[in-house]
Amino acid sequence: SAVISQKPSRDICQRGTSLTIQCQVDSQVTMMFWYRQQPGQSLTLIATANQGSEATYESGFVIDKFPISRPNLTFSTLTVSNMSPEDSSIYLCSVDGGSGSDTQYFGPGTRLTVL
């Protein structure tokens, strides 16, 4: 399986600011996904990022709030914009296992606290 790293691992931010989270994979992957895990809740898919095309957002998530970049097959960023305390969550990226595996592997996550 792919080795996935995320930066930062955690951050504490002020209301109204933005934070960009980076996701790096050690191999080329077609699909990358971004999830949110709010305190005490399960993981919720934010968007799917395919290299060379616009990200596809799930219901309840919009590009203005969560812009995503996917410049190449090993890297993606998620920005949490104009943050409020409700954005305090763990943000995780995942990648598909490749070759039609239909299996996702997850990064370690970024723990975001918004004050």
Partner 1 sequence: AQSVSQHNHHVILSEAASLELGCNYSYGGTVNLFWYVQYPGQHLQLLLKYFSGDPLVKGIKGFEAEFIKSKFSFNLRKPSVQWSDTAEYFCAVSSGGGADGLTFGKGTHLIIQP
Distance (Å, rounded) from C-alpha 68 to C-alpha 4?
17
Closer residue to partner 1 in complex, CB, 22/50: 50
Q: How far is the CB of 15 from partner 1 (least distance, A)?
A: 28
Contact residues for partner 1, defined by CB under 8 A: 1, 30-31, 33, 35, 41-45, 48, 50, 58, 92, 94, 96, 100-109
Report which residue type is found at 34: W
Closest to partner 1 by CB, 83 vs 107, is 107
Peptide bond into 39 cis (omega under 30): no
Q: Which is nearer to partner 1, 31 or 73 (CB)?
A: 31
Rounded least distance, CB 56 to partner 1, Å: 9
- Residue 71: exposure state from Cβ atoms within 10 A (0-12, 13-18, ≥19): exposed
Tokens of residue 108, six digits: 């370690």
For partner 1, the closer of residues 85 and 100 by Cβ is 100
Give me the least distance between CB of 7 and partner 1, in Å please. Answer: 14
List Cβ neighbours of 110 (8 Å cut-off, separation of 6 or more).
6, 7, 8, 9, 10, 11, 21, 90, 91, 92
Cβ 36 to partner 1, closest distance in Å? 11
